[in-house]
Amino acid sequence: MATNIDLNGFDESAWHPETLGVRAGNQMTAFGENSEALFLNSSFRFKSAAQAAARFGGTEPGNIYSRFTNPTVTMFQDKLAALEGAEQCVATSSGMSAILACVMGLCSAGDHIVASRSIFGTSVQLFSNILKRWGLEVTFVSLTDLKEWQGAITPKTKLFFVETPSNPLTEVCDISALAKIAHEANALLVVDNCFCTPAIQLPLKLGADIIIHSATKYIDGQGRCLGGAVLGSKVHMEPVYGFLRTAGVTMSAFNAWVFLKGLETLFIRMEAHAKNALVLATWLEAQPQVGRVFYPGLQSHPQHALAMQQQTSGGGIVSFEVKPKAGQTAQEAAWAIIDATKLISITANLGDAKSTITHPATTTHSRVTAEARAAAGITDGLVRIAVGLEHVEDLKADLALLSK
Ligand SMILES: *Cc1c(COP(=O)(O)O)cnc(C)c1O
């Protein structure tokens, strides 16, 4: 007879996304704990030598060693997979190791990747400095110009790699259209969904094949732990998992437990981040010392309609150009605004309950040449805010210098 606590193996197919965030993937031990258990153990015991052999041989499912699987990590993977609508999730030690595991699992020397120029700076370094040494070719193209993607395809192209909205200019890419181009070339479309999370955007539903996450950001939500994830169909995740269990870029059980708690509140947090961001972006547009404001939720965003088709909100990241005053350079103007803040944290992280402020040209994008930065539109006056969960009036007050 089914009872109220027969939750293990519960049918989740009828649940709404918010309920999946709280309940999906959860498994209870015999103790009946209501908050998911943290399994801080490296190995698992077998009842007999025969069972050990069966586990290692793959004829009996079950845990062996936490580099391969761990129940707390499994719960995190199953919850995130349910939220993204993916068959399988492979959790990793960081967002960067998620990208590494994805490429190592699915590509070989001589293969080719087409990537958007507007991706996370460290992802550019990974592709162009490190993976290149191992025989992987990468071509960088414009995020929004689909003809450039088309033109970059070679017979060896395996992956398309994109982030949308982009950092820091919040440009949006048409995921369905890009997926079509990738599939015609027999390539897979990989979307780094870190900025939106499944609470705002579901790339697999739009035709993408693989999702990357830096769980460090909004999935944690309070700036505590590093982690990442790769999601997709079982057939694509099998070699990614194979790389992970051998190379050991595994997510720690403790971090998985923190992220599990993060996912429970993901929907209400993302809604609050986006609500604050829209109010702040609208206010910024009206300030005398502000030039352009970049936020997909604004009517003035050139791709507002596409963004609202793909996303349930504009998300939590807002960028804007500070207009220099007489005798000031653009960088001096931007730095003056950043240095005048007291509440907002000057730090490069994002997705935290605490609002953060950065000057992309001299931090996240400082390793890019000045010409490439200018071509990408990342000007010296540009400031990025990852809008947190403080009251938005306090954020405006912290930026009051922009009103002068
Ligand atoms: C932070 C970030 C990463 C890398 O994640 P880590 O957890 O820091 O390794 C990858 N992609 C995007 C979009 C990010 O913001």
The token pair at 211 is 């999702």
User: At 167, which CATH number?
Assistant: 3.40.640.10
The answer to whether the bond into 168 is cis (omega within 30° of 0) is yes
Mutate to test the pocket of ligand 1, among 92, 94, 96, 143 (most ligand atoms within 8 A of CB): 96
Inter-CA distances, 64 with 41, 42, 75, 345, Å: 11, 9, 16, 42
When computed from its CA atoms, the radius of gyration of the chain, rounded to whole angstroms, is 22
Could you say which of 264, 299, 328 is where a domain stops?
264
Q: Are residues 100 and 240 in the same domain?
A: yes
Is residue 345, in this structure, part of any structural domain at all? yes
Report the greatest alpha carbon distance in the chain.
80
Instruction: Say how far residue 404 (Cα) sits from the centre of its chain.
Output: 36
Domain count of the fold of the chain = 2
Q: Are residues 92 and 229 in the same domain?
A: yes
Say what the pLDDT of residue 404 is: 87
Q: Are residues 208 and 277 in the same domain?
A: no
Best CA proximity match to 158, nearest among 105, 120, 199: 105
Which range of residues forms the domain containing residue 41?
8-264
Say what the pLDDT of residue 283 is: 98
- Tell me the whole-structure pTM to 2 decimals: 0.96
Is residue 3, in this structure, part of any structural domain at all? no
Q: Are residues 196 and 322 in the same domain?
A: no
Is residue 393, in this structure, part of any structural domain at all? yes
User: At 350, which CATH number?
Assistant: 3.90.1150.10
Whether 149 is in the pocket of ligand 1, judged by its Cβ within 6 Å, is: no
Whether 26 is in the pocket of ligand 1, judged by its Cβ within 6 Å, is: no
Enumerate residues 6+ apart whose C-beta is below 8 A from 127: 113, 115, 136, 138, 161
Is residue 130, in this structure, part of any structural domain at all? yes
DSSP H helices, 153-265, are 175-184, 234-247, 253-264
d(CA 21, CA 199): 9
Say what the pLDDT of residue 331 is: 97
Instruction: Please report, as a single letter, which amino acid is at residue 106.
Output: L
Q: Are residues 39 and 153 in the same domain?
A: yes
Say what the pLDDT of residue 23 is: 93
In tens, the pLDDT along 347-403 reads 989 999 999 999 999 998 888 788 888 878 899 999 999 999 999 999 999 999 999
Say what the pLDDT of residue 11 is: 72
Is residue 2, in this structure, part of any structural domain at all? no
Is residue 211, in this structure, part of any structural domain at all? yes
* Tens-level pLDDT at each residue, the chain (404 residues): 455 655 555 677 789 999 999 999 999 999 999 999 999 999 999 999 999 999 999 999 999 999 999 999 999 999 999 999 999 999 999 999 999 999 999 999 999 999 999 999 899 999 999 999 999 999 999 999 999 999 999 999 999 999 999 999 999 999 999 999 999 999 999 999 999 999 999 999 999 999 999 999 999 999 999 999 999 999 999 999 999 999 999 999 999 999 999 999 999 999 999 999 999 999 999 999 999 999 999 999 999 999 999 999 999 999 999 999 999 999 999 999 999 999 999 998 999 999 999 999 999 888 878 888 887 889 999 999 999 999 999 999 999 999 98
Q: Are residues 258 and 279 in the same domain?
A: no
In the chain, count H helices and then E strands: 14, 12
In tens, the pLDDT along 297-320 reads 999 999 999 999 999 999 999 999
Q: Are residues 78 and 225 in the same domain?
A: yes
Residue 302 burial (CB count, 10 A): 13
Say what the pLDDT of residue 4 is: 61
Say what the pLDDT of residue 374 is: 83
Best CA proximity match to 219, nearest among 200, 236, 237, 203: 200
Could you say which of 243, 264, 285 is where a domain stops?
264
Is residue 386, in this structure, part of any structural domain at all? yes
Q: Are residues 252 and 277 in the same domain?
A: no
Whether 217 is in the pocket of ligand 1, judged by its Cβ within 6 Å, is: yes
Is residue 68, in this structure, part of any structural domain at all? yes
Say what the pLDDT of residue 228 is: 98
Say what the pLDDT of residue 3 is: 55
**Residue linked to tokens 């403080």:** 390
Q: Are residues 110 and 214 in the same domain?
A: yes
Enumerate residues 6+ apart whose C-beta is below 8 A from 288: 323, 402, 403, 404
Mutate to test the pocket of ligand 1, among 102, 117, 122 (most ligand atoms within 8 A of CB): 122
Bridge partners (DSSP) listed for residue 141: 116
d(CA 142, CA 144): 6
Instruction: Say how far residue 390 (Cα) sits from the centre of its chain.
Output: 22
Do residues 67 and 245 make contact, with C-beta atoms less than 8 angstroms apart?
yes
Bridge partners (DSSP) listed for residue 356: 345, 386
Mutate to test the pocket of ligand 1, among 103, 120, 200 (most ligand atoms within 8 A of CB): 120
**Residue linked to tokens 């989740």:** 12
- How many residues can be counted in the chain? 404
**Residue linked to tokens 């993901």:** 266
What ligand 1 atom has the least distance to the C-alpha of 227?
Answer: 7
Do residues 51 and 60 make contact, with C-beta atoms less than 8 angstroms apart?
yes
3-class secondary-structure state, position 208: coil
The token pair at 242 is 């194979």
Q: Are residues 331 and 242 in the same domain?
A: no
Bridge partners (DSSP) listed for residue 137: 112
Q: Are residues 383 and 364 in the same domain?
A: yes
Q: Are residues 93 and 229 in the same domain?
A: yes
Instruction: Describe the strand order of the beta sheet including 112-116 as a list of residue ranges.
Output: 88-92, 228-232, 210-214, 188-192, 157-163, 112-116, 137-141
Could you say which of 214, 231, 264 is where a domain stops?
264
| E strand segments, 135-269 | 137-141, 157-163, 188-192, 210-214, 228-232
